[in-house]
Chain A
Amino acid sequence: MSNHETPVLKAEARGLNFYYGEAQALKNINMPIYDKKVTALIGPSGCGKSTYLRSFNRMHDLYPGNRYEGEIRFFPDNTNLLGSDVDPIEVRMRVGMVFQKPNPFPKTIFENVAYGLRVRGENNKRVLEDKVEHALKSAAIWEEVKNRLQDQAPNLSGGQQQRLCIARALATDPELLLFDEPTSALDPIATGAIEELVHELKKRVTILIVTHNMQQAARVSDYTAYMFLGEMIEFGKTDQIFIKPQDKRTEDYITGRMG
């Protein structure tokens, strides 16, 4: 990336530790997330990249025995997303998420996208219609579904379902969008469509994406972090990480000698 503007911080992990019961899954993570950029998290299975991602919208709070230490600062208001006085529901109102496996709700296409708006108390039909259309357009699926908004969402193809899930997340205008291996259940064509979409979306939203696929990280991201055994080994601009990694372990992973 050859743009010379100074990146603005959107979020920053500071001394983040995470425990599943006794097992420590994240070890002292410090890392910036820049505003309106795509940051990729790469690393071998079990390295903690999904665990780290799911800390940003407090998904770990849904299960007993999980514990955070440290902070994730969220800007511009400098809120600690992990603070004990911060309501996870408020966090999730600002941080959207797209999952590994498309998980549309057993509702119509329209109601899937309107879901987050209804959760936020929006019931005005006109407003809902406008925002649903806008979100579906942003997720590049409007042309395919505009004539069948009342069809059941689970009848869409896998790639369409995933774009619908992206539209669902976009409809509420999140500030940060988390992608947890969003293309691992999709074929190459659907994957290409999602990658193109990620590229397009960073104009308006900050994106953090976990991926198993290094080519994908190289294609879509501005920044890349390499994680290994719960530690952040290296963080930097994507081209730097891929062309000239500083750490031997990053280099081994990227060149395919490990993982």
Chain B
Amino acid sequence: MPANNPGDLHQVSDRLAYNAMRHWKERLIEAVLLAAAAVSVLTTLGIVYVLVSESISFFANVSIVDFLTDTQWTPLFDDAHFGIMVLVSGTLVSSFVALAVAIPMGTIIAIYLSEFADSRVREVAKPILELLGGIPTIVFGYFALLVVTPILQFVLPGLPGFSLLSAGLVMGIMIVPYIASLSEDAMRAVPMSMREGSYAMGATKLYTAVHVVVPAAISGLAASYILGISRAVGETMILAVAAGMQPNLTWNPMEPAATITSYIVQVALGDLPHGSIGYQTIFAAGLTLLLITLLFNILGQWLRARFRENY
């Protein structure tokens, strides 16, 4: 038997020979990729650690029940109250106003770009739209304060100089490009064969867009809305500039109010002693914000799983 010849056992051709050099290169690349991925995960964990550990010291002084039920937020006064709902209400009202603008507008723009605009219009319009997302939010803030508020006051004479309405509207405009761009991507990913099926039934473009393309792209649309919500809840500068920074438990967008983020920026700019209760409120408020965003993200994940594309 030739295979029993010991000389043959070592006859591995050059092409099949084990390549040690390639092996180590692969391992090195793997390690670099893992390190890059680890940076973002570790950053998140670090943020959570700081927020939680500082909040624990905060809740050693303030009860969670007071935190959630008190109707005043005056952490720096002698008569200190720590009712986070005051800030949460401002955050939710301004976000609601923003999303009431951004979700319909973003979706309509996405439908137009994906289903109606010819390719030349799309190639010009989409980058311009995305540019809107690149404007610094402080610019949007002053746009709200100096342009939008006066115009709104003309229509609604009782509107104060700072209001959740004005800040929310401009925040909505800021979020439109995110929703429009992501929704358009999701709708363009719907296979042409599905549209053809609808057109072949005698449907118009609009009917096809609303009854076939949007339902088919619903999970992508939901993802873009969730991103929009996260942007709105976390937005800081527009609200700090245009919504006034006075803590105010209100559900009326016509009033000025502080949000979680604008409170954080306000006290962070002052000179609070490290370790004081005022300093710790920053982290308790930050943790609340993180939990709100997390809640919406989980909701988004659930929606995405529920309405997964099934084409």
Q: Which residues of A in the span 24-64 have a Cβ within 8 Å of any Cβ on B?
A: 57, 59, 62, 64
- Chain A contacts for B212, CB-based, 8 A: 105-106
Stretch from B85-93, B201-209, B253-261 contacting the other chain: B201-209
Whether A99 pairs with B201 at a CB distance below 8 angstroms is no
Stretch from A77-85, A115-123, A207-215, A226-234 contacting the other chain: A115-123
- Chain A contacts for B199, CB-based, 8 A: 59, 62, 92
Give the shortest distance, in Å, between B213 (CB) and chain A (any CB). Answer: 10
Instruction: Tell which of A106, A118, A169 has the most Cβ of chain B within 10 Å.
Output: A106
Whether B201 pairs with A116 at a CB distance below 8 angstroms is yes
Instruction: Report the bound CA distance from A103 to B191 in whole Å.
Output: 9
- Chain A contacts for B211, CB-based, 8 A: 105, 115, 118
- Chain A contacts for B215, CB-based, 8 A: 105-107
Whether A165 pairs with B310 at a CB distance below 8 angstroms is no
Contact of A106 among B195, B196, B207, B309 (CB under 8 A): B309
Residue of A nearest to B205 (CB): A62
Whether B310 pairs with A92 at a CB distance below 8 angstroms is no
Instruction: Report the bound CA distance from A172 to B207 in whole Å.
Output: 17
Instruction: Tell which of B191, B194, B195, B199 has the most Cβ of chain A within 10 Å.
Output: B199
Give the shortest distance, in Å, between B246 (CB) and chain A (any CB). Answer: 48
Does any Cβ of B come within 8 Å of A258's Cβ? Answer: no
Q: Which residues of B in the span 192-227 have a Cβ within 8 Å of any Cβ on A?
A: 193-204, 207, 211-212, 215-216, 218
Does any Cβ of A come within 8 Å of B118's Cβ? Answer: yes
- Chain B contacts for A73, CB-based, 8 A: none
Residue of A nearest to B118 (CB): A64
A137-181, CB under 8 A of B: which get 1 and which 0?
000000000000000101100000000010011001000000000
Give the shortest distance, in Å, between B54 (CB) and chain A (any CB). Answer: 46
Interface of B is mostly: helix
Give the shortest distance, in Å, between A46 (CB) and chain B (any CB). Answer: 19
A107-B215, A172-B202 given; A99·B196 CB < 8 A:
yes
Instruction: Report the bound CA distance from A40 to B303 in whole Å.
Output: 46
Does any Cβ of A come within 8 Å of B311's Cβ? Answer: yes
State which size class the interface on A falls in. 20 to 34
- Chain B contacts for A154, CB-based, 8 A: 310-311
State which size class the interface on B falls in. 20 to 34
Whether A106 pairs with B216 at a CB distance below 8 angstroms is yes
- Chain A contacts for B309, CB-based, 8 A: 106
- Chain B contacts for A193, CB-based, 8 A: none
Residue of A nearest to B216 (CB): A106
- Chain A contacts for B194, CB-based, 8 A: 103, 105
Give the shortest distance, in Å, between A116 (CB) and chain B (any CB). Answer: 4
- Chain B contacts for A182, CB-based, 8 A: none
Residue of A nearest to B194 (CB): A103
Residue of B nearest to A98 (CB): B200
Residue of A nearest to B215 (CB): A106
Instruction: Tell which of B193, B201, B207 has the most Cβ of chain A within 10 Å.
Output: B201
Does any Cβ of B come within 8 Å of A190's Cβ? Answer: no
- Count CB-based A-B contacts (< 8 Å): 70
Contact of B201 among A92, A104, A106, A152 (CB under 8 A): A92
Instruction: Report the bound CA distance from A93 to B200 in whole Å.
Output: 8
Contact of B310 among A93, A99, A116, A155 (CB under 8 A): A155
Whether A96 pairs with B193 at a CB distance below 8 angstroms is no
Instruction: Report the bound CA distance from A118 to B196 in whole Å.
Output: 17
Q: Which residues of A in the span 85-138 have a Cβ within 8 Å of any Cβ on B?
A: 89-90, 92-93, 96-97, 99, 101, 103-107, 115-116, 118-120
A92-B201, A106-B216, A116-B201 given; A62·B196 CB < 8 A:
yes
Instruction: Report the bound CA distance from A168 to B207 in whole Å.
Output: 16
Instruction: Report the bound CA distance from A114 to B204 in whole Å.
Output: 16
- Chain B contacts for A89, CB-based, 8 A: 202-204
Residue of B nearest to A92 (CB): B202
- Chain A contacts for B118, CB-based, 8 A: 64
Residue of A nearest to B310 (CB): A154
Residue of B nearest to A93 (CB): B202
Instruction: Report the bound CA distance from A92 to B218 in whole Å.
Output: 27
Whether A105 pairs with B216 at a CB distance below 8 angstroms is yes
Residues of A within 8 A of B (CB): 57, 59, 62, 64, 89-90, 92-93, 96-97, 99, 101, 103-107, 115-116, 118-120, 152, 154-155, 165, 168-169, 172
Given A64-B118, A155-B310; 11 other pairs, CB 8 A cutoff: A59-B196, A59-B199, A89-B204, A97-B200, A99-B193, A103-B196, A106-B309, A115-B211, A119-B201, A119-B203, A154-B311
The 10 closest A-B pairs by CB, nearest first: A154-B310, A97-B200, A92-B202, A103-B197, A116-B201, A93-B202, A103-B193, A106-B216, A119-B203, A106-B215
What would be 6 A-B contacts, judged by CB atoms less than 8 Å apart?
A57-B200, A96-B201, A99-B193, A103-B193, A105-B194, A106-B216
